[in-house]
Amino acid sequence: MKLKFGRKVISVEEARSVLSEYVKLTETEIVPLSAAFNRRLAGDIYADHPVPHFRRSGVDGYAVCAADIEEASPDNPAILRVIEHIPSGTVPELTVYSGSASRIMTGAPVPDGADCVVMLEMTDALPLLDAGVSSTQVCIKKNVPMGSNITPIAGEIVAQELLLPQGSQIGPGEAAILATFGYSYVTVFRKPRVAIFSTGSELLNVEEALQPGRIRNSNSYMLAAQVEAAGGEAVIMQALSDNVEEVEIALLETLAKVDLVITSGGVSVGDYDVLVDLFGRFAGKLLFNKVAMRPGTPTSAAFWENRLLLSLSGNPGASFVGFELFAKPLIKAMSGSPSPCPEAMTAYLDVDYDKGSAFPRYVRGTTHVENGCLRVKPSGIDKSSIMVSIKDADCLIQLPAGGSGFARGERVLIYPIK
């Protein structure tokens, strides 16, 4: 009665691959650099000048000719005449010649003629009265090799070098590069807009008082936080009842306005599992409706009105895991990530896990480091109906199907999620 169509189980990897065929990059937009953190670049960034673009002093001290101080030591200091003071941000006017030195600050351009900079701590300044003009000379007590404390032109970055490829996410290092090259505005991919619909007649709005048999809608807010963490813009929609017409109208009204629609609930075999009813009558294309995973086995997806619709199981744990496995890679791919799928690490199980499973499990896990090794344990009671432990999960532990469980100390794959 309920299933108007069958359910063919596919693997998590197959489901991801099916979804990836429908990913469209969002269009680009220009935003101030200060508003671009965590966004992804819509084009390659090349260096249009070398860094540094002048010979840069790395220390406060004296720019000199290395040949003049070859023999310098505390007992045999080289005495040089100071001809100029060079603060950072200025351009030296005089060329250093044999027998002379220029006082120079960290970050200032090294004057022509000088081929090393001696740190201030290795020198003593001496007053000098020369033909009635007050001047200084400097005593250099150490020899330093040619090139010391000078970053040559292009010592850090060569002109025309590829600095940041398209898709780079703007973190602290990228922000520093963009600022260095004068990008006060950057062209990035627009954040994918993701509409979130919870379904279920039992759901109350967050501000509503508890009622017998009814619960507050927590999934919409959990999923919205996940959307934002994945780089999307979450649009929390009014939760829907188990009425299929209502769900159909609401989704049809919304699909064209966003890049992705996520629903939670109503995908199992219950009498009121409304997404199942919808997929039995809608004009879209059902992509899958069963995934070899636990939790979230009934996770479904469709392509409808030119948009992806991802329907997650309603149980909070299943919604959370389904989002991490499927929605996060979609949002990342839409916003330009070249590697949207999570990458596995290995960790050692910190507890016995004595449940086998017909399908691979994705257990919410909490990691810690012990004697330099990464260890992991389930974040709490490992049931998809349990919500309270989600806050403690920093990874998903992937436990293969079959068997009767896993022993403490076994190596397992984990997918970091924070």
Ligand X SMILES: Nc1nc2c(c(=O)[nH]1)N[C@H]1C(S)=C(S)[C@@H](COP(=O)(O)OP(=O)(O)OC[C@H]3O[C@@H](n4cnc5c(N)ncnc54)[C@H](O)[C@@H]3O)O[C@H]1N2
Could you list the residues that contact ligand MOO (CB under 6 A)? 294-298, 313, 315, 318, 384
Residue 15, CB-side half-sphere exposure with 13 Å CA sphere: 28
- Other Cβ atoms less than 10 A from the Cβ of 76: the count is 9
- Taking only Cα atoms into account, the Rg of the chain, rounded to an integer number of angstroms, comes to 32
Please give the angle made by the CA atoms of 354, 7 and 246, to the nearest 5 degrees.
110
Contact call for residue 167 and ligand X (CB under 6 A):
no
Alpha helices in 213-294 (DSSP H): 219-229, 244-255, 274-279
Q: Which does 289 bind (CB under 5 to 8 A by kind): ligand X, Mg ion, ligand MOO, none?
A: none
Q: How far apart are CA 317 and CA 322, in angstroms?
A: 8
Please give the backbone phi and psi of residue 81, each rounded to the nearest 5 degrees, phi first.
-90, 130
Paired sense of beta strands 373-378 and 395-399, if any: unpaired
Q: How many residues bind Mg ion (CB under 5 A)?
A: 3
């001047």: which residue's tokens?
135
Of 99 and 270, nearer to Mg ion (C-beta) is 270
- Which residue has tokens 């916003």? 335
190 or 294: CB nearest ligand MOO: 294
84 binds, among ligand MOO, Mg ion, ligand X, none (CB under 5 to 8 A by kind): none
Q: Return the residues of window 262-281 that contact ligand X according to CB under 6 A.
A: 264-270, 273
Residue 228 near which of Mg ion, ligand X, ligand MOO, none (CB within 5-8 Å, type-dependent): none
To the nearest whole angstrom, how small is the minimum distance from the Cβ of residue 377 to ligand X?
Answer: 22
Least distance between ligand MOO and beta carbon 365 (Å) = 16
Cα dihedral 399, 401, 405, 406 sign = negative
Q: Which does 30 bind (CB under 5 to 8 A by kind): Mg ion, ligand MOO, ligand X, none?
A: none
From the list 226, 384, 389, 398, which residue makes contact with ligand X (rule: CB under 6 A)?
A: 384
Amino acid (1-letter code) at residue 133: V
Residues 6+ apart with CB under 8 A from 232: 191, 192, 193, 194, 259, 260, 331, 334, 335
Q: Which of 57, 169, 289, 297 binds ligand X (CB under 6 A)?
A: 297
Within 193-232, the residues that bind ligand X by CB under 6 A are 198, 200, 202-203, 215, 217-220
Q: What does 215 bind: ligand MOO, ligand X, Mg ion, none (CB cut-off 5 to 8 Å by kind)?
A: ligand X
Rounded-to-integer distance, Cα 157 and Cα 204, Å: 57
Of residues 123 and 384, the one with the C-beta less far from Mg ion: 384
Binding mask 310-329 for ligand X (x = CB under 6 A): ---xxxx-x-----------
- Give the residue with the Cβ less far from ligand MOO, 296 or 340: 296
How deeply is 343 buried, as exposed, middle or buried, from its count of CB atoms within 10 A (0-12, 13-18, 19+)? exposed
Residues 349 and 280: their CA atoms lie apart, in Å, by 42
Q: Which is nearer to ligand X, 125 or 215 (CB)?
A: 215
Beta carbon of residue 298, minimum distance to ligand MOO (angstroms, whole number) = 6
- Binding track over 253-292 against Mg ion, x by CB under 5 A: ---------------x-x--x-------------------
Contact 204, 214 (CB under 8 A): yes
Q: Which residues pair with 192 in a beta bridge?
A: none
Cβ proximity to ligand MOO: between 123 and 311 the closer is 311
Q: Contact positions toward ligand X, by CB under 6 A?
A: 198, 200, 202-203, 215, 217-220, 264-270, 273, 295, 297-298, 313-316, 318, 384-385
Q: Contact positions toward Mg ion, by CB under 5 A?
A: 268, 270, 273
